[in-house]
Structure 1
C-alpha cells in the first residue's frame, strides 16, 4: 500500500511556498507516495490531489475578524472542521504543514485534532509567526518579546493587521498551548537563523531540523544571452548591479539602494526588478526600475548579465533570489540579516556578506568584487548552487526524514 503525504498550505503551486509544496509532492510521488495538498487561497494545476480549505468568502470573513479582533488563525471554524474530516478519510502517514496563516485555517481546531492522533506532523517554518503573538517577521524592529511572552505589539498594524485590538498576549499563550502539546511534531526551518530563534522560543524542546530551500538548477543557470539585456536597458559598457524582489519597500532595502546610487560613480548601472509603478517614479537617475521580467529565462539573462547581485534586505528568512543569482554564476553582496549569509558564507568565495548593514559597506564590497572581476567567482558560484541548493536534493531530504520517522514510529 502506498504511503500518503498530506500537505497543508495557504497556496497550491502558486507563490513561493505553494511551489515548494508542489515540488515536495512531486518528489514524494517519485518515491512511490500518494500526495495531497490542502490549500486555503489560490492554486494552479497540480500533479498532487488538491483539497480546497474553505472558500473565498470564508477567507474574507476570517480576514475581517483578524482586523477587528487581532484574531488571525482563529476564524474558518467550519472550513477547518471539514479539513479534519478529510484528514480522517485520507488517513495520511505524514502531515506536512507549510504556512498556516493567511486567513484560511483555524489552528486550535486543527491542532486539537493533530495533538490527539498518532500521525507524525512536520511543520516547515518559513517565518516566525508560529512562536509570536502576532507577527511573522520582527527582525526589522528588533523585538525580542517572543522569547518570554508577547504583549503591547508594536507591529499590530503590520500583517496580519489588526485595526483596533492588541491580543498579542492572548495569541502567544494560545499558540504556546496548542503547538507545544503535540508530541509528534518535528519543526523544519528553512534557515539556521530561524532554527536558532525557535530554540529560544516556547518550542525549544521540539525536534528542530534545518533544510534549506532549493531552486531548479536546470532552469536557473548561466545564460549567454546577456547582450540583449545590456541593449534593452542601455547599460552596455557599465558594471551592472542587479537587485530582485517580489515587492520593494524599506524592509527590502529600497532606500539603501537609492543611497548606494549616490556613493557609486557613473561606471555602475543599477537595475531593480520587481518595482511597483510608484517605486519606479521615485527612483533617481542611474537606477533602472523594472516591474517584472517576461519569463524565468529573461530573469536568468539578467542574473547572468549582472556583475554583482545586491541584496540589501533588512529582514528575510532565506532569500531565494540569492540562490538564483549564484546558480547563474553571479557573486552576491548582501547584508548580514536573517538567513542571507547562509547562501554564500563568510569566506568570500561566492560573494561578500557586509560587515555593517549600510550602503557604504555595500559599496565597498561591490568595489572589492568588481576589482577582481566576475570571472573570479562565476564557476565557484555555480558549483556551490548545484552542490547545495538543488531543489530535488532538498526535497528528497524531506522524504528521507519522513521514512526515518515512520520506520521508528
Structure 2
C-alpha cells in the first residue's frame, strides 16, 4: 500500500507542517508514505520536490506569480489578495511516476500555482481513491479560503464579498462550476482537521453526497514536551523571575491573526495587574518588529524560529500562549503550546473550542471581545501555583490523548482501509507489523 501526499509547500505554513508531520507519522506506523511538493525547503526522507532543476524551480515561482496575477483584476482590495485562489494556474502531475505508483492520493493545501482545478480533475480521472485533508474552506467554496459570515458556498457562490465587482456569475461562481465539473465521479473523501471545518464542508453543495470525515492534525508529543521553565528561559537568554505571555504566528502582521486585539487587550491587562512590571512578552514569527514597539509591556522578539529545540523552549518558557486569531481551523500552535504544558487563551472561533476547554486547559474568549481577552490573560496569570500546575497538566494530557501522532496515524490508516480496493488493506496491516 503506497500513499502519496500532495502539498504546495514543504514546511511553509501550518498546512504544510501538518502534512509533513502526517507523512512522518504514517511512515513510523509502518505505512509506505511519500510527499510530493512544488519545491522542497530542506532535504527530508520521503519528501520529493516536483522542481529539481534550476529551470523547474524558476517555473514553480513563475506559476505562483501567474496564479496571483489571475486574481489581481478581481480582488476587492490588497487585504484579500491571498484570501482567494482561482486555481487557474497549475501543473499536470497525473503522469508523474509517484502518482502512477500510489494506491491512495492524499491532498492537502494545493493552490498558489501547484495544482489548478484542471490539474485536480486529471488526478480524479485516474479513479484512484483520494483523501483530501482540508486545512481551510477552499476545497468546497468558489475560491475563498475562509468565507467568514458568507454562506453562499452552500448553494452556488456568486456575489462574492472578496471581489471588486460581485455579480451572480462572477469569478467565484465560475470557479464553483469548475470544481463541480472536476469532482464529478471522483472517488473523493474530504477530511476536516476540525469538527468545525467538517461541519462547514457538509453544508457545501460541492460535497453533496460525499462522506465528510473529521481527523485532527498529528503532533509528535515526544518532541513537543514540557521543559522546566527556568531552564527554557535560560536557554533563550530570558530573565527567570518574570511572567511571560507568548504570541506566535507565521506572520505577526497577518490580518486574520488578530494582533490589534492582542494589543488592545494588553493595554487593559496592564491596568488590571497590581505589578505590571513583572509581566513581559515573548513573540516569535515573521513580520515587522515596528508593530511591537507600541505594546505596553517589555517584549522579547525571537523572529522566525526553525530550530525545534528553540520552539519548544519558547513554548515552555511562557506562562500562557495567546492566539487572538479571527479565523482558524485547528491551529498547530495551540497543540504545540499545550503539549509543552502551556495553557492557551484564544477566541471561541473555528476549531479552537475543540482544543481549548474553558478554564480546564486554558481560557476560551468571547469572539472579538477585547475585554474578555484581557480577562483571560489575567485569569491565568493570577492562578495559584496548584491551579496553574493543574491547567498545565490538563493541557498536556489533552494533546497526548487526542493529537499524538500515533493516535492520528491510526485514524488515517483506518480510513485508508475503508476506501482502498479490496485486497490491499491487508498490506497496510502487514506493513505495520514489520519491525
Q: In which range does the TM-score fall when normalised by the shorter chain? A: 0.7 to 0.9
Alignment match of 1:151 (pick from 154, 158, 164): 158
Tell me the C-alpha RMSD between the 2 structures: 2.9
1:92 alignment counterpart? 102
Alignment match of 2:190 (pick from 187, 192, 198): 187
Q: Does 1:132 align with 2:121?
A: no
1 CA distance for matches of 2:245 and 2:98? 52
Q: What is the 5 A alignment of 1:7-406? A: 7-12=5-10, 15-30=13-28, 32-48=30-46, 50=48, 52=50, 55-56=59-60, 57-68=62-73, 72-76=86-90, 79-80=91-92, 83-86=93-96, 90-114=100-124, 116-139=125-148, 142-156=149-163, 167-179=171-183, 181-202=184-205, 203-224=207-228, 226=230, 229=233, 236-249=240-253, 250-265=255-270, 266=276, 267-280=278-291, 282-288=293-299, 290=301, 291-293=303-305, 295-346=307-358, 348-373=359-384, 374-406=388-420
Q: Structure 1 residues 375, 173: closer, same or farther in 2, change over 3 A?
A: same
SS in structure 2 at match of 1:363: helix
1 CA distance for matches of 2:219 and 2:190? 21
SS in structure 2 at match of 1:240: strand
Shift of 1:73: 1.6
2:80 alignment counterpart? none
2 CA distance for matches of 1:294 and 1:27? 20
Shift of 1:295: 2.7
Structure 1, residues 122-179: CA drift from partner, whole Å, max 9, x if none?
A: 111000111222211232xx2222222322333248xxxx9xx951121122212322
2:82 alignment counterpart? none
2 CA distance for matches of 1:284 and 1:30? 44
Shift of 1:35: 3.2
2 CA distance for matches of 1:99 and 1:271? 30
2 CA distance for matches of 1:268 and 1:27? 38
Q: Structure 1 residues 168, 283: closer, same or farther in 2, change over 3 A?
A: same
Work out the number of aligned pairs and report it. 392
Structure 1, residues 367-388: CA drift from partner, whole Å, max 9, x if none?
A: 3333333213122221111111
2 CA distance for matches of 1:134 and 1:408? 35
Q: Structure 1 residues 320, 365: closer, same or farther in 2, change over 3 A?
A: same
- The answer (yes or no) to whether the contact 1:235–1:269 under 8 Å persists in 2 is no
- The answer (yes or no) to whether the contact 2:29–2:409 under 8 Å persists in 1 is no
Q: Structure 1 residues 107, 244: closer, same or farther in 2, change over 3 A?
A: same
- The answer (yes or no) to whether the contact 1:5–1:28 under 8 Å persists in 2 is no
Shift of 1:26: 3.5
**TM-score using structure 1 length:** 0.85
Shift of 1:205: 2.2
SS in structure 2 at match of 1:316: coil
Q: Structure 1 residues 52, 376: closer, same or farther in 2, change over 3 A?
A: same
2:431 alignment counterpart? none
Q: Which moved more, 1:255-264 or 1:303-312?
A: 303-312
SS in structure 1 at match of 2:72: helix
SS in structure 2 at match of 1:197: helix
1 CA distance for matches of 2:98 and 2:308? 40
Structure 1, residues 60-99: CA drift from partner, whole Å, max 9, x if none?
A: 33443343578732223xx31xx11226973421111111
Q: Structure 1 residues 113, 321: closer, same or farther in 2, change over 3 A?
A: closer
Shift of 1:209: 0.8
Q: Which moved more, 1:397-406 or 1:66-75?
A: 66-75
